[in-house]
Amino acid sequence: MNTAIILAAGQGTRMRSKTPKVLHKVGGKYLLQHVIDASKESVGEINVIVGHNSELVKEAIIDSKINWVLQEEQLGTGHAVQQATPFIEDESICLILYSDVPLLKRTTIKQLINKANSSGFSLLSVLLEEPYGYGRIIRDSNGSIHSIVEQKDANQDQLKINEINTGIMAIKGSLLKKYLSELQPNNSQGEFYLTDIVEKAVKDNVNIASLICESDSEVMGINDKKQLSQAERAHQSSQAEELMSSGLTIMDPKRFDCRGKINFGNDCVVDINVIFEGNNDLGNNVVISPNCIIKDSKIGDNTHILPNSIIENASIGSNTSIGPFARIRPDTSIGNHSKIGNFVEIKKSNVQNNSKISHLSYIGDSKIGNDVNIGAGVITCNYDGSNKHQTEINDGAFIGSNSQLVAPVTIGENATIGAGSTITQNAPDNKLTLSRNKQSTIDKWKRPTKK
């Protein structure tokens, strides 16, 4: 059974944050979670080495497949991996990954393990135009890997090499345990370097297979907020390319963000500055206009989400229009052929087919029937200061502008509520209900003036 060891014990001081580095996010997902998810298809057990803020990390990552291993004192990468040796089987292939390298692809991991199955040891490298700060891959005259020299220990000739070590490797368990036991802190940092096992393997005539990663963004490490933003954009660019290849029209991939997953039908269009969070399903011919946020929602066929709208944990029917500047809050369902207009907020409500709430209204904790028309400025007064109450508006009802429906209250089928009414009791079917004070004019009134 193949095993993964993920190093996640570092303090991450350059992030300048109280949040552990591995719990910062790319694409709405923890850095560490990216690495765990990428490795799952290739290994049977995952060992995560934790140190600083270990309890916070374990609380955030809930996964029964993980074996948490504590590195109490941070003495280098080799020392970190040594902590997991009791959990490594001699005949397994051990995959060593880093929690701050979140964009590594599953396919790359599989290739690396396949090479290790053949040779016993495989190493992932990448070619960089600017390799400063990274350990260099040293090859012999035959092109075989000879050793790895860290930046701080490299001479001038070695610093010119642009093939760098990613630190990611796959190695047979028995070999890994053997070389880990031989590590010495013979370097300027006084640490146990995992990279030193490469030279030891070469001395034992172990053929180290190399895999050069095609994309440097796939193996980029994150040490500060600038690199975090670069990883975010690289991740979004990669997602956009995959989605467009699958048929999604994205008007400008550089202004697209998906922090989760999108399932979509044919001929869907996503305009600029749209953010998808969580899991979202789009039907056929869905159009998402600029500056919208869609989170954990389902949107039906031929529906148009107009600009600057927010939809969260909601279901939107087919042939429906939402927005602009609409807010659809959690646990809301909107039917087919309906219209939710500008500056309308709906929360925890069910709106049936062919109903219209065109502008400037708040609908909360409500059941809205079919063919209902709700005028401008209508408010369902659902909160009494302690509890929420439900408003029910039955099929065909017409609610005049600037009305307040004080819940709990039911508006009957085909009922009409006169504009400007405050309704505190049930309104019967097929009748006009209104509540207004008698209008009066005061003849001798004078407008106040400044003193």
Burial of 70 (0-12, 13-18, 19+ CB in 10 A): exposed
User: 3-state DSSP call for residue 229?
Assistant: helix
Report cis status (omega within 30 of 0) of the bond before 20. no
Sheet with 432-433, strands from edge to edge, namely 249-250, 269-270, 287-288, 304-305, 321-322, 339-342, 356-359, 373-374, 398-399, 416-417, 432-433
CA angle 212, 215, 220 (to 5 degrees): 95
CA angle 171, 174, 177 (to 5 degrees): 85
The first and second tokens of residue 427, run together, are 């309104």
235 annotated active-site? no
Marked catalytic residue, from 34, 79, 235, 359: 359
- Of all helices (H) and strands (E), which one includes residue 169? strand 163-172
DSSP state at residue 428: -
CA angle 39, 66, 174 (to 5 degrees): 70
**Among all chains, which residue has been given the structure tokens 């047979």?**
172
User: 3-state DSSP call for residue 253?
Assistant: helix
Report whether 239 contacts 261 (CB < 8 A): no
How far apart CA 274 and CA 272 sit, in angstroms, is: 6
How far apart CA 285 and CA 57 sit, in angstroms, is: 41
Report whether 31 contacts 24 (CB < 8 A): yes
The first and second tokens of residue 323, run together, are 């927005």
Map 297-330 to HEC letters.
CEECCCCEECCCCEEECEEECCCCEECCCCEECC
Catalytic residues: 359
